[in-house]
Structure 1
Amino acid sequence: MPSDAWHLTDDLDTFVAHTEDFLRSRPALHNTPLTVIRRWRTRPGTYVPGNVLFGRLESAGEIQAICYRPPSQRLTLTPLSPGRANALAAQLAALGHHLAGVTADEETAAAFADAWQRHTGATPTLPFRMHLYRLGTLTPPDPRPEGHARIADERDHDHLIRWCRDLAADLGETVTVDAHSWPSTRFAEKRYTFWQTPDGTPVSMAGVNPMVAGMVRVDPVYTPAHLRGHGYAAAVTAEVSRAANAAGATEIVLFTAADNPTSNALYQRLGYQRVTD
């Protein structure tokens, strides 16, 4: 067996058995695979056996990196050197696998895209860039907008679906969120908190993923367009960050669009520090 080799499987349990310790070793950087795999393992209907390709890179018996490609055909990768990215691209191309895109840290994504182009002739484009932030010391907004936080419950279900639809549309995603599809979407497993005005009107929301490996990801944060600019998003983000700290989270992370200076400045004011692109 080569000392540095990619091992592919379509079996989730096999993949987790080999890679769980590796993923938990860097929970902030590995937040996406940790939360996605947790959802597949705990929420019925979100994972179809044999429908996802998993890969692990082993060197001298130790895991160095992982990848997975769900039905969307978008490959997710943990950090890789250009040589290792090329080896994976060559192996996937030789086996006839198809990809719609790659999500990874900036250097890894660029290296893999270049390699995929060499092996398949596909021309890569860059549709979006994001920043990953980790919370340092929480600094609540001052002044804080009028109102208070409230955890969403069953009475808010229709409201949550509507706002998640609006969020998906704002992000340019295909909007498929409705009452029927909700349980299988990425929105369903989150715990939501509203910021509401003194009269009880919700004006912003923030969701958090269930804690895994001591890590909580804040996602999504949404304020309707006509209510922005009043500090509501800062207030509700500070509240869910405080609650995650109180619940024992050791890593609290979130993603922002790289081309949105408003949201990037907001999270930095709250104490979030940039980790990677």
Structure 2
Amino acid sequence: MNFQQYDSADDFAQVAMPFLEKNEDKFSLFLGVLQGIRQGNYENPFMASIEEEGELLALFQMTPPHPLNIIFVNEERMEVCIDLVISELIKQSIPVESIISGKEWAYSFAEKWQEQTGQSASILMDQGLYRLDQVDDSIEMSPGAWRYANEQDRVLVEAWYHLFVQDTGLPPSKNHAEVQTHVKQMVDNQEVFLWEHNGETVSMMKKARPTEHGVTVSLVFTPKEQRKKGYARTMVAAGSKELLEEFQFCVLYTDMLNPTSNKIYQEIGYQKIIDSVHLKLEK
């Protein structure tokens, strides 16, 4: 069994892409980030695979400070793959603050990690990954219309970005200056959708990680004073419908502990395809 770490994203892609492209929806996060690495959008990425006699067994990817993303191609070899990658991470002193993966895979990794490091795992988000192929046109839409965010919206989008991180309970991965730069790129690339009603911006969503056939919907946010008016559902429905003009499908991650958001997305037409979990590894 061979553990291979890659310095070249193109070399890693040659190994990973055939599998990822066959599972473009389920592993859209891994695939989208890999494309970002190839474009130079991440510093010091960790990329590795495990193979045995020419068979791909597992893939690993991390763009610090983001979580280690784990895929087991051959689940029958999962336990030995976990032992091998953990030993390599420890040997090379590669810090891992959190992991994201299918729920069973993530908890199996966390159990082995605790055995070998003494560090336990706590849940950051119990997630469901949903896919949409067609918006249900029968859903009730809130009044207003969508538009792309522009330069004049940057301060608002920055503020909502910070509030979104607080609402989700996730540790911030960017400081204020980095958020400003990130939001500018998002706005310049027409990735941010806003819903307006009576001249007031009331909700937003973001287009993220486009792949050959699909795209991710993320950063869905409505300020507290505008909630319970259907704006989030309307924004995601309208934005997703626009994205489906270009892509075959949309995917999004939801917090499974938030029944309201899960109900909203299902009403739009999103259907859950896998259970995922984001775990923090305690120091």
TM-score (norm 2): 0.85
1:136 deviates by 4.0
- More deviation in 210-219 or 187-196? 187-196
- 1:257 aligned partner, one-letter code: D
Give yes or no for contact 1:165–1:175 (8 Å, CA) kept in 2: no
Structure 2 residue 135 is the aligned partner of structure 1 residue 142: no
Q: Which has the higher strand share?
A: 2
Structure 1 residues 39-54: aligned runs within 5 Å: 39-42=36-39, 46-48=41-43, 51-54=44-47
**1:215 partner letter:** G
Q: 1:31 aligns with which of 28, 31, 39?
A: 28
Report the Cα distance in structure 1 between the residues aligned to 2:177 and 2:87, rounded to whole angstroms: 42
What does residue 194 of structure 1 align with?
194
CA contact (8 A) 1:138 1:271 kept: yes
| Alpha-carbon distance, 1:135 to partner | 1.0
Post-superposition CA distance 1:193-246 (Å, at most 9, x none)? 11111x221101111115212110001111001111011011110111111211
Show the counterpart of 1:258. 256
Q: Distance in 2 between matches of 1:251 and 1:129?
A: 23
Letter of the 1:174 counterpart: P
Q: Does 1:206 align with 2:205?
A: yes
Distance 1:71 1:201, change over 3 A: same
Inter-partner Cα distance in structure 2 for 1:230 and 1:22: 42
1:94-243 residue pairs with structure 2 within 5 A?
94-140=91-137, 142-172=139-169, 173-174=171-172, 176=174, 178=176, 181-184=179-182, 188=186, 191-197=191-197, 199-243=198-242
Residues 168 and 174 in structure 1, CA contact (< 8 A), matched pair in contact too: yes
Unaligned runs of 5+ in 1: none
Spell out, residue by residue over 1:110-154, the C-alpha distance to the aligned partner (whole angstroms, 9 max, x if none): 111111122222222223211111114321463211111112222
Distance 1:92 1:177, change over 3 A: closer
1:77 has 2:74 as partner? no
* One-letter identity of the residue aligned with 2:100: T
CA distance in 2, matches of 1:268, 1:181: 31
The C-alpha deviation readout for 1:79-102, integer Å capped at 9, x for no partner, is: 353332233223323443332121
Give 3-state SS (helix, strand or coil) of 2:96's partner: coil
Amino acid at match of 2:67: R
Q: Percent identity?
A: 25
How far 1:40 moved relative to its partner?
2.9
Distance in 2 between residues matched to 1:270 and 1:148, nearest whole Å:
17
Q: Distance in 1 between matches of 2:147 and 2:231?
A: 13
C-alpha distance in 2, partners of 1:187/1:218?
Answer: 17
- Give 1:12's aligned amino acid: A
Equivalence for 2:280: none
| 238 and 181 in structure 1: CA distance in 2 versus 1, 3 angstrom threshold | closer
User: Could you tell me whether the CA contact under 8 Å between 2:142 and 2:230 is conserved in 1?
Assistant: yes
After superposition, the CA RMSD in angstroms is 2.4
Q: How many residues end up aligned between the 2 structures?
A: 268
The structure with higher relative contact order (CA 8 Å, sep 6+) is 2
In structure 2, runs of 5+ residues without a counterpart are: 276-283
Cα distance in 1 for partners of 2:25, 2:63 equals 21
